[in-house]
């Protein structure tokens, strides 16, 4: 039996370490990214000490994109992956830079235009849980550092599977759980500094405190792998990066 509106309002989910009403999380995540949008890329370089560029390069290699392919850069925000995908798929290909947050998309749109890539890149404001694209639309769906912010991850995974072409692949790049305890302790200590850096550089410590907490609340590698299988993806696997600080999960839609 379908849940009533009151039932849904009574449900809660996590916003970082805090439990909030289900309907409230999307709004609060939106406020976080509206706050950090203009300095998001600068903070990425600072927080990762520049290593995010190498991780993204490896992710692009795993995409196996070719000329003429269609790719959905989901939760693509400021356009880092779309800028990388555009020359690979070429004039006959198509990239959709999609995000739920209008402030992040505005930064991404400006970067795409500045780099002269708008001929094969479209911009779409979408909710990952209910993608407004036709079935079997994309050769690849990539979501980088975005799944942990989605309220209903299971619905998002099922939506990604639906819009993939048979034989297409999903790539999920996300912070994960380090496999070595010493690495985990060092990483935890370092990430505790991010809110301080956020305060100094953006004037916003709270948003970066949420980002740290959201990373720690995200499912670990094996849990996410099982979630992908439950959503219907096949041949699922993952690659740990930097000792498991990040992981790239790959799954395929049945041919």
Q: How confident is the model at residue 3 (pLDDT cuts 50, 70, 90)?
A: very low
Letter string b/e over residues 172-206, b meaning 16 or more CB atoms within 10 A of that residue's CB = bbbbbbbeeeeeeeebeeebeebbeebeeebebee
DSSP symbols for 8-53:
HHH-EEEETTEEEEHHHHHHHHHHHHHHHGGGHHHHHHHHHTTTHH
Give CA–CA dist 174/168, Å, rounded: 20
Find the mean pLDDT for residues 175-195: 89
Q: What is the pLDDT of residue 241?
A: 94
Can you tell me the mean pLDDT for 224-247? 97
Domain spanning 6-180+206-252, CATH class: alpha beta
pLDDT range class, residue 92, cuts 50, 70, 90: very high
Report pLDDT for 1: 41
Task: Let me know: does 102 contact 72? Beta carbons within 8 Å.
Answer: no
- Rounded CA Rg of the chain: 18
pTM of structure: 0.88
Q: Would you say residue 246 has pLDDT above 90?
A: yes
Separation of alpha carbons 77 and 97, rounded Å: 8
- Rounded to an integer, the average pLDDT of 206-212 is 86
Q: In what order do the strands lie in the sheet with 138-144?
A: 121-125, 94-99, 70-74, 138-144, 164-175, 246-252, 234-241
């Amino acid at each position: 039996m379908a849940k009533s509106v009151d039932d849904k309002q009574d449900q809660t989910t996590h916003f970082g370490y805090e439990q909030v009403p289900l309907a409230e999380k999307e709004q609060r995540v939106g406020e976080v990214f509206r706050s950090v949008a203009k300095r998001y890329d600068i903070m990425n370089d600072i927080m990762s000490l520049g290593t995010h560029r190498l991780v993204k390069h490896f992710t692009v290699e795993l995409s196996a994109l070719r000329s003429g392919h269609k790719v959905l850069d989901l939760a693509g925000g400021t356009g880092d992956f779309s800028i990388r995908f555009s020359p690979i798929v070429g004039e006959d290909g198509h990239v959709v830079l999609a995000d739920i947050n209008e402030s992040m998309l505005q930064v991404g749109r400006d970067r795409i235009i500045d780099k002269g890539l708008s001929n094969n890149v479209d911009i779409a404001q979408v909710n990952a849980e209910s993608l407004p694209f036709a079935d079997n639309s994309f050769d690849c769906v990539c979501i980088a550092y975005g799944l942990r912010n989605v309220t209903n991850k299971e619905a998002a995974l099922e939506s990604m599977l639906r819009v993939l072409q048979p034989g297409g692949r999903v790539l999920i790049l996300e912070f994960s759980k380090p496999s070595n305890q010493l690495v985990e302790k060092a990483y935890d200590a370092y990430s505790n500094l991010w809110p301080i850096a956020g305060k100094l550089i953006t004037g916003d410590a709270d948003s970066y405190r949420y980002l740290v907490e959201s990373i720690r609340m995200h499912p670990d590698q094996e849990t996410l792998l099982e979630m992908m299988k439950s959503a219907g993806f096949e041949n699922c696997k993952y690659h740990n990066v930097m000792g498991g600080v990040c992981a790239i999960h790959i799954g395929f839609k049945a041919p």
